[in-house]
Structure 1
């Protein structure tokens, strides 16, 4: 059991004694890191009377700006002095949706590590590195960190403190990290939580529309270009590789979040069980891996050859040389994982 009475009591003591609380999450935020952060933020506003801040390594992607409280998020890349000040003054720091301090990025990591406040991990990724954390709430079977935030609130018997804004954030985190409830990580427990959120009055149709139905023309054209020009099917490995160069991104006026979902779109091709998306970014090649089936993991591929890791069917990695080299390396090692 993750949320034991002992750990909950320990957390409540820390929270009671804290004059300032900071919520942070991993670099390159997604729907779960933003959703879980905002869910905890809205919940704490109901039960905590001290100073409260959300401090992330970088800004939220545009498709999540609709969420209530998103404008309260301070990013290290844009508000460096404020974030450093809040980290150094915080008595308690919630670390959401990451299991290693390195996941906040090289720029912010030293300041998070040196922050004197007690640190609490809430996360669902494999192989958590627990050193440096006062309390660890880790459940690798959970579909999302947003689900764990709900379970934390539930363990405190505080579901009545879930406002509409909090419920929307939990739902968004669960929805995005489960591929709109189609991934195998979606369980009956996940659906029971969603049912509770619906009973609280959240409008799931509006959340889907706000998240997925506000595409820019540039984003749609970028996806179309990638599929038409930069997609390679490897039928012998039941794998699809798709990529975008720096020039491609510039051509379509790329904004953060514009490539979200592209790797899943490719995975929907008939006969494909593994999809890999590569993007030139900040002098490195960022790689997203997706797969179908319990017998078809991609996290070992990511960790073995591409300095990454993640879940069995959804992982990330990077390659420090050029895009052509990354694709060549992928093709050379794929036979080991098919």
Structure 2
């Protein structure tokens, strides 16, 4: 029995299944959660999704009504954890990734926990762990669960649509080096199941608000700094600047990839002042320019070699200066 068959057996044996994902939801955490939920329902079982907080508005073209949010309905989430006899931990590798409130519930839960994830250095708290750090997304691993547990015939448009979304967003529209031949094999299976991929691209990309575009235009024209000696680009945005353009969660998500597209850039760093801290997004190109080490060693973060996150409790100016001081230590001079 392979591990995916073991997971399917645990699903069949469970009565109260909870699906969790990390704080600050993205396309992969939303996609893998919904894809797993619909698969479980196809098996004739039921489950509830519990996330720490809302996803960005541009992901809400999907039906997210089945997702309970800790920040909005803590009583319902608490009850779900107390009743759970099986908890899925999707797209995160450590209990603190679900935020402090849900972390308490997760760690206090005595039921079996199953991790399905693709990030480095997973903690050892789960009963079963699928940790495939070379795979592009957790959504791809959910397809593997469906296929390798012997239920590939259950993959349909409803299950496949959120999983395609997860793979699409976590690969930067299939541009990152984490995309493997197997990724395209799985995409072919999803399309064969009836998923209309062109509609997903349209709903994901053709939904800008005026304020979002104006914020991005301001960031590019007024806040972009390029360290040409190292081919590293940085954008910093204060809480006042975000408020001026009616910032909503997700409005700056594409900025790092946008400035990384500048000819010759090795890395891009974007940080924004939110909730009293600087939230930092690191992106880079190539195996010779990893950013996860910088994020881990200096900004209480981490992630993939070319896509990581971090945070700073310093001011905007001090965080910017700290980054500029560190860049020469992590990126070779041209």
Q: Give the TM interval when normalised to the shorter protein.
A: over 0.9
**Which stretches of structure 1, 4 residues or longer, exceed 3 Å deviation after superposition?**
none
Deviations 1:315-335 (CA, angstroms, capped at 9, x unpaired): 000001211111111111111
TM-score by length of 1: 0.96
Alignment-derived partner of residue 123 in structure 1: 117
Alignment-derived partner of residue 63 in structure 1: 58
Query: What's the secondary structure of 2:328's corresponding residue?
Result: helix
TM-score by length of 2: 0.97
Query: What's the secondary structure of 1:107's corresponding residue?
Result: helix
Structure 1 residue 85: deviation in Å?
0.7
Structure 1 residue 10: deviation in Å?
3.0
* 2:79 corresponds to which of 76, 85, 106: 85
Structure 1 residue 262: deviation in Å?
1.1
Q: 2:302 & 2:32 partners in 1: Cα distance?
A: 21
Alignment-derived partner of residue 229 in structure 1: 222
2:279 aligned with 1:286? yes
Q: 2:161 & 2:4 partners in 1: Cα distance?
A: 24
Structure 1 residue 107: deviation in Å?
2.3
> For residues 40-119 of structure 1, what are the structure 2 equivalents within 5 Å?
40-49=36-45, 51-68=46-63, 70-119=64-113
2:198 aligned with 1:244? no
> For residues 166-177 of structure 1, what are the structure 2 equivalents within 5 Å?
166-177=159-170
* 1:192 corresponds to which of 171, 185, 195: 185
Question: In 2, are the aligned partners of 1:143 and 1:178 still within 8 Å (CA)?
Answer: yes
Gaps of 5+ in 1: none
Q: What's the Cα RMSD here?
A: 1.0
Q: 2:215 & 2:280 partners in 1: Cα distance?
A: 17
Equivalenced residues, count: 331
Deviations 1:279-313 (CA, angstroms, capped at 9, x unpaired): 10111100000000111100000001111100000
Deviations 1:251-272 (CA, angstroms, capped at 9, x unpaired): 1111111112111001001111
Structure 1 residues 149 and 298: alpha-carbon distance in aligned structure 2, compared to 1, 3 A threshold: same
Q: 1:111 & 1:156 partners in 2: Cα distance?
A: 29
* 2:15 corresponds to which of 19, 24, 28: 19
2:143 aligned with 1:147? no
2:247 aligned with 1:254? yes
